[in-house]
Structure 1
């Protein structure tokens, strides 16, 4: 029997990119950044960090390699939410706007954390009229696509339920006329899961 598929974004839905960003900063510069705004959508706004130039920017970027993408911590309740979905009969596939060379690192990360996810599709990131994730989500026959970045719903087929995780509101791109692209909105993955399984 073919199980229905739910496509899940990683950073902001399954994994805490903000904490990983702070850890990368500490590895690069020797000190953990202070928190400025816990409700900030973007990590550079959440943490009290300066804008980087030249070699310091290069030094920080060097931290975003295999180690980074294989050790991002989980968001609260995300692992349990995925197990609930899996136990309810769904196959879960991670569709991430990540460079393809880090696809295996992301899968290793999810497996190490015991997410019930056996496949990662890395689409890369492109700001276009059609989301780079749209083709991947349709190709796997997803019934639902869960993401925390509204522009990634651009071009997704209308028969796919698009669930938007709102999370931190300050500076969020999840506003405006494109909100019509979201079939439903949720504070986090556990909130989506409770909603979806209670239908």
Structure 2
């Protein structure tokens, strides 16, 4: 995050939490050294923790980040859960999936959820992003 901030990027945390917790999340991130400019929260209506065992229920998942990302239209949208890319329509945004534990999210869900590039860590993405002068990564 510090490298991106030093390069002049605004860092926005989009999180699936209620609005009343947004300020506390921002303060917590900043307290731990993350140079986050702002936090935008919107609670998820359906989470994987409370999904019924019926695999078809994943179709009911409403991506809480979709509306926010489509409004922000960021250069890059980075997330560690594939489901958070679901249904987002932003042609100029690079979708970056951070699969730090190589879990590829849930094996039975999100197989059709597209992203542009996948990295094992956030720092791996940031270094590659800055090295490629912010163009589409490979």
Same-fold status (TM-score > 0.5) = yes
- Aligned CA distance change for structure 1 residues 144 and 170 (closer, same or farther; 3 Å): closer
> Runs of 4 or more off by more than 6 Å in structure 1?
none
2:52 is matched with: none
Which of 69, 79, 87 in structure 2 is aligned with 1:155?
A: 87
Q: How does 1:45-194 map to 2 (within 5 A)?
A: 82-127=1-46, 128=60, 130-159=62-91, 160-170=93-103, 172-173=105-106, 177-179=111-113, 181-194=114-127
Decide whether the 8 Å contact of 2:45 with 2:61 is kept in 1: no
Q: Distance in 2 between matches of 1:170 and 1:193?
A: 21
Aligned residue for 1:91, secondary structure, equals coil
Decide whether the 8 Å contact of 1:146 with 1:162 is kept in 2: yes
Structure 1 gaps of 5+ residues are: 1-81
Q: Distance in 1 between matches of 2:103 and 2:84?
A: 19
Q: Distance in 1 between matches of 2:70 and 2:90?
A: 10
Q: Distance in 2 between matches of 1:117 and 1:176?
A: 28
TM-score by length of 2: 0.75
TM-score by length of 1: 0.53
**Residue 117 (structure 2) pairs with residue 198 (structure 1):** no
Q: Distance in 1 between matches of 2:122 and 2:85?
A: 17
